[in-house]
Amino acid sequence: MKDTKLAKQRRHKRIRKKISGTEQRPRVSVRKSLKHIHVQIINDVIGHTLVSASTLSKEFSDIKTNKSNLKMATEVGKLIALKATEKGIKSVVFDRGGYKYHGCIKALADSMRENGLNF
């Protein structure tokens, strides 16, 4: 257990050294738990969250089953992409937050790409 947590922390630290959000290309930050998926689009220059979405959003309040699966990751990706395009954000930098790029993280990224975000 400690090794996997430590490996995730190392991956996250290595990624954040290289990735930073600007006004032209804000950073998409992903956080995943056993029950929920959270996504934020952040401008790191001024330190503000521009857009956020998660499985806790009011759009998903009627769903009572597990909200941390591929289907929900796809829906959250679609929602964040729609909110971002409403704010005029077209191009972003993807920060997977130390998570491996497969499963829910890959489904989220693919859904964001399909719905108009470039990264």
- pLDDT, one tens digit per residue, over 78-113 is 999 999 999 999 999 999 888 889 999 999 999 999
pLDDT in the model for residue 2 = 77
Domains in the chain (CATH in brackets) are 2-114 (3.30.420.100)
Is residue 19 pLDDT above 70, yes or no?
yes
Is residue 63 pLDDT above 70, yes or no?
yes
- Residue 107: count other Cβ atoms within 10 Å of its Cβ: 20
pLDDT in the model for residue 1 = 60
CA distance 102 to 80: 19
Predicted TM-score of the model (pTM): 0.85
pLDDT in the model for residue 23 = 87
**Averaged pLDDT of the chain:** 91
